[in-house]
Structure 1
């Protein structure tokens, strides 16, 4: 009789062990299924289909972090183009510089006020000078936040009688606003911006 009880006890232990194994296996399969489905959904969500000229094209969406250096450089480039590309028209100057000020803090507004008070914009208008800036390079440090940058460009001032080139060097820091708007599509802002150098270059021979 004791042998029969031992056999029943042993059989119960085997059934218990087997049941625990089945439960663990079921939990593992369920977790893997959930993880796999989430990955599939994320992958499907990153695919974008575009209708172009009657054809369906597939594109892949990427998050902001993977494009930070590209977006930072474009933000810097756009700001400098808006701030320094000027036509000899006061209304146009106010409009373009006003758009640039959405991309930077009060340090840019201070530079603008100093230039206006010194008569810089009036001189451009009275002398009928059109000015544009060309990007040479951007030195950007993305290893530390806020992101420090140095902008190197060449200004071209076109007069009716001559064309003058200037070397332009500025620097500042970029902060992430975590929010994008129509006026600031990248969601960054330039702070502590200053002009390090803005001098005439020797005439080209």
Structure 2
């Protein structure tokens, strides 16, 4: 009889250990499933489906802080290209400057008005001069907002018989806006913008 009781007690102990092990395994499995579900939800929230030309494309969202330098440089490059790349056509000049002014504050408008009053754009049109700009480099200070920048670029003034290269250096600050629009897709605004150098690379050239 004592042997039977010992067998029952031993069996009970085995069942108890098995139940505890099974419970722990279930808890671990449940925790793993919950973790994986949240991870997949996080990945799904970073996916954006875009309909382009009748095709569904998948894009991935990222933190803006990771791309802030790239976006700032593109904003600066776009502004300078629109402001300084000019054709000898009044409507083309007005269109480019109009787009550029959406990307900057009143300091850019003041610069445009100064050039306009000085007859700069009229001289380009009358002499059939095309002006093209290439940004060489952009120095950014990301330590504090608004972000300070210095832009180094080269201008080409193309005439029918000659080409003149000019060195351009400007500086300013960029403020982050709360919204992004079609006219300002990055949501930045250049402010306190000024031209430091705008001169021929060869001083003997006219």
Unaligned runs of 5+ in 2: 1-26
Whole-Å separation in 2 of the counterparts to 1:52 and 1:95:
27
CA distance in 2, matches of 1:94, 1:48: 36
Which blocks of at least 5 consecutive residues in structure 1 are unaligned? 1-25
Question: What TM-score, normalized to structure 2?
Answer: 0.76
User: What does 1:1-205 align with in structure 2 at a 5 Å threshold?
Assistant: 33=34, 37-48=37-48, 58-202=58-202
Question: Is the partner of 1:71 in helix, strand or coil?
Answer: helix
User: CA 1:57–1:95 in structure 2 vs 1: closer, same or farther (change >3 Å)?
Assistant: closer
Q: How far apart, in 2, do the equivalents of 1:104 and 1:50 lie?
A: 30
Which residue pairs with 2:4 in the alignment?
none
Offset at residue 161 of structure 1 (A): 1.2
Q: Whole-Å Cα distance in 2 between the matches of residues 120 and 134 of structure 1?
A: 20
Could you give the per-residue CA deviations for residues 41-98 of structure 1, whole angstroms, max 9, x where no partner exists? Answer: 2221113456889997654221322211000000000000000000001111111001
Cα 1:51–1:93 change in 2 (3 A) is closer
Indicate how the Cα distance of structure 1 residues 177 and 156 shifts in structure 2: closer, same or farther if over 3 A, else same.
same
SS in 2 for 1:113: helix
Q: CA deviation at 1:38?
A: 4.5
Report the Cα offset of residue 40 of structure 1. 3.2
CA RMSD of aligned residues (A): 2.5
Give the length in aligned residue pairs: 174
Find the aligned partners of 1:187 and 1:56 in 2 and give their Cα distance: 26
Q: CA deviation at 1:120?
A: 0.4
Residues in 1 aligned to 2:54 and 2:92: alpha-carbon distance in whole angstroms: 39
After superposition, the Cα gap between the structure-2 partners of 1:120 and 1:55, relative to the gap in structure 1 and judged at 3 Å, is: closer
Q: Distance in 2 between matches of 1:151 and 1:184?
A: 19
Shift of 1:183: 0.2
User: Once the two structures are superposed, what CA deviation does each residue of 1:181-204 show, in whole Å capped at 9, x if it has no partner?
Assistant: 00000000000000000000128x
